[in-house]
Amino acid sequence: MTQLAVDNVTKEYPTRDRPLSVLRGCSLALAAGQNAAILGPSGSGKSTLLYIIGTLDSPTAGRVTLDGVDPFGLGEKELAAFRNRRLGFVFQDHHLLPQCSVLENVLVPTLADPPAAKASGDANAAADRARDLLKRVGLGDRMDHRPAEISGGERQRVAIARALIHKPALLLADEPTGNLDRTTATQIGDLLLELQRDEGTMLLVVTHSLELAARFERRFELDDGHLKTT
Ligand SMILES: Nc1ncnc2c1ncn2[C@@H]1O[C@H](COP(=O)(O)OP(=O)(O)OP(=O)(O)O)[C@@H](O)[C@H]1O
Ligand SMILES: [Mg+2]
């Protein structure tokens, strides 16, 4: 069953002379539990496409649906809840809050959305899930550290745990291993794929690494605004 459908998405950015056409009709479909990598040269629109799928940017034309829901048809509050509960994001930079502990950082999405925390039981259930995720990413003994007190690879593990706290239907990652050395990048790639399988979430990763992309079920390449299967 198709869970994520991207249909003929275009994106134009207005510029002084004429609109800059970045995406010229991109389509892709992911079934529940599938993973895919998006490759393409710098400036080809990979982040733009991922941000549109993640509702952080809107398409000029075309449609994105997750489980049949078009997020761009939702009101502001509903859209924020949809983004928080149904999607998980991992960026090249971890974006952790420096003043919060590792455990608190993983819990941040549950604070932003109290009704979701209530629905999933209570604050204790959220904390249990956060601890469980941190153990699974290998940080069971780093929960009280601040982000400055752990390594770059460990910070990215925290970001992955945070992205999964609400059991998202779709996990999106934009060059998640871009700032890491090769060995650490391989470990983070392994971890993303392992958690994606265990959690049954869909995973869409933008990467420049052919090595990482080779380990995904499906690969797409953005070229001149078009998305091709490779
Ligand atoms: N807000 C914006 N306004 C105008 N042009 C933009 C904007 N954001 C991105 N662009 C342009 O759109 C194109 C695609 O950018 P995007 O960031 O999606 O590329 P990318 O494939 O992710 O590149 P990289 O691999 O370097 O991260 C670029 O040419 C960029 O200059
Ligand atoms: Mg990018």
Closest CA to 161 of 207, 81, 71, 101: 101
Question: Domain of 196?
Answer: 34-58+74-229
Question: Would you state the pLDDT for residue 112?
Answer: 77
Taking the CA of residue 206 as reference, the ligand 1 atom at the shortest distance is 22
Which residue type sits at 76? E
Name the residue at shortest CA distance from atom 4 of ligand 1: 13
Name the residue at shortest CA distance from atom 24 of ligand 1: 42
Instruction: Kindly state if the Cβ of 229 falls inside 6 Å of ligand 1.
Output: no
Paired with 202 in beta bridges are: 170
Instruction: Kindly state if the Cβ of 140 falls inside 6 Å of ligand 1.
Output: no
Question: Would you state the pLDDT for residue 52?
Answer: 98
Following DSSP, what letter does each residue of 43-64 receive, concatenated?
Answer: TSSHHHHHHHHTTSS--SEEEE
Alpha-carbon distances, residue 194 vs 33, 47, 155 (angstroms): 12, 23, 18
**126-144, pLDDT tens digit by residue?**
999 999 999 999 999 999 9
In this structure, is residue 51 part of a structural domain? yes
Instruction: Kindly state if the Cβ of 224 falls inside 6 Å of ligand 1.
Output: no
On whether the pTM is more than 0.75, the answer is yes
Instruction: Kindly state if the Cβ of 44 falls inside 6 Å of ligand 1.
Output: yes
pLDDT of 121 > 80? The answer is: no
Mean pLDDT across the chain: 94
Taking the CA of residue 14 as reference, the ligand 1 atom at the shortest distance is 4
Phi, psi of 14 (to 5 degrees): -70, 135
Share of the chain above pLDDT 70, in %: 95
Question: Would you state the pLDDT for residue 6?
Answer: 98
**48-74, pLDDT tens digit by residue?**
999 999 999 999 999 999 999 999 999
- Pocket-testing residue among 10, 12, 22, ligand 1, by greatest number of atoms within 8 A of Cβ: 22
Distance 202 CA to ligand 1 centre (A): 24
In this structure, is residue 26 part of a structural domain? no
Q: How many domains does the chain have?
A: 1
pLDDT of 163 > 90? The answer is: yes
Name the residue at shortest CA distance from atom 10 of ligand 1: 13
Region 103-125: mean pLDDT is 78
- 123: confidence class by pLDDT, cuts 50, 70, 90: confident
CATH number for the domain that contains residue 157:
3.40.50.300
- Pocket-testing residue among 46, 58, 208, ligand 1, by greatest number of atoms within 8 A of Cβ: 46
